[in-house]
Amino acid sequence: MRKRLDLVEVAARAARRAARYLRTVRPPPPDAWTEKGRHDFATEADRRAEALIAEMLTTLVPGSLVVGEELSPTAARRSGVVWIVDPLDGTTNFLHGYPQYAVSIAAVRDGVLSAAVVHDVPRGLVYRAARGHGAWLGRARLAVSPISDPRHSLVGTGFPFRNLDLLEPYLRQFATVTRAASGIRRAGSAAIDLADLAAGRFDAFWEPALAPWDVAAGVLLVREAGGVVTTFDGSDDVLDHGSIVAGNPAMHRWLIDLIGSA
């Protein structure tokens, strides 16, 4: 158990280092952006932040492997400690000065998601979780919302901007959820969305296409706060490129059924 807590502390130190750097960076003009794919940008800030994170993680945990979109986008399935890192979740927000972006770091030990940190950079909030030890914001333990009536629910989402083939089915889902829920929010950082779910601010969340570094830390936050996270087909294995639906137990069941019907 102590090892899981130690991994959280290491992740928190690495995330804090990257957050300090990101606060010093002025968003570059569009001609300095690298387009990794349609609507999907990266900058020197992403790459530098990930290098700072990777250096600290591998120094403090020798032999560990860092998996991230800027370094080595491969599946985190090997034995030992694998770090799943998004150095700047919400890059487009960052580039436009919209204050909704985070550093996301998760540790997978022998194939099991074990530790997580989401550092909300503009607000300076640090969310932490360790498997079997709960999810925390500072000294406050996090718990998912108790809301079970969809009419009262606030639901988070993310648009399939990288894969526009999914746009039409997503819009059907969006229309169906809009008719049933109190409101829907889309702010552009899945890591912060999942932290908000773990903190009880959202009651549920869904997105059709995400990478493991987008969600790994947030998934553990939600699960340790008492929530449920699966793919659209109900699988618990979300550490791959694919869909995600999350919520407190009642709202997760409602949302996954609703998405299936749409």
All domains of the chain in start order, with CATH = 2-141 (3.30.540.10), 150-261 (3.40.190.80)
CB 141 within 8 A of CB 172: no
CB 171 within 8 A of CB 186: no
165 pLDDT band (50/70/90 cuts)?
confident
β-bridge partners, 65: 82
Residue 199 has pLDDT above 60, yes or no: yes
Mean pLDDT of 216-235: 97
| Model pLDDT, residue 34 | 76
User: Considering only 26-35, 36-45, 130-139, which range has the smallest mean pLDDT?
Assistant: 36-45
39 pLDDT band (50/70/90 cuts)?
low
Residue 3 has pLDDT above 70, yes or no: no
> Which residue in 218, 210, 203 sits closest to 254, CA to CA?
203
pTM as predicted = 0.93
80-117 burial, b at 16+ Cβ within 10 Å, e below that, comes to ebbbbbbbbbbbbbbbeeeebbbbbbbbbbeeebbbbb
Residue 38 has pLDDT above 80, yes or no: no
Look at strands 242-247 and 228-230 and give their pairing.
Answer: antiparallel
Distance CA 155, CA 181 (A): 7
Planar angle of CA 56, 62, 65, nearest 5 degrees: 75
Distance CA 48, CA 55 (A): 11
* Chain segment 61-102, per-residue pLDDT in tens: 999 999 986 555 454 557 899 999 999 999 999 999 999 999
Percent of the chain clearing pLDDT 90 (strictly above): 80
> Which residue in 135, 86, 136, 131 sits closest to 113, CA to CA?
131
Amino acid at 128: R
| Model pLDDT, residue 82 | 95
Residue 37 has pLDDT above 70, yes or no: no
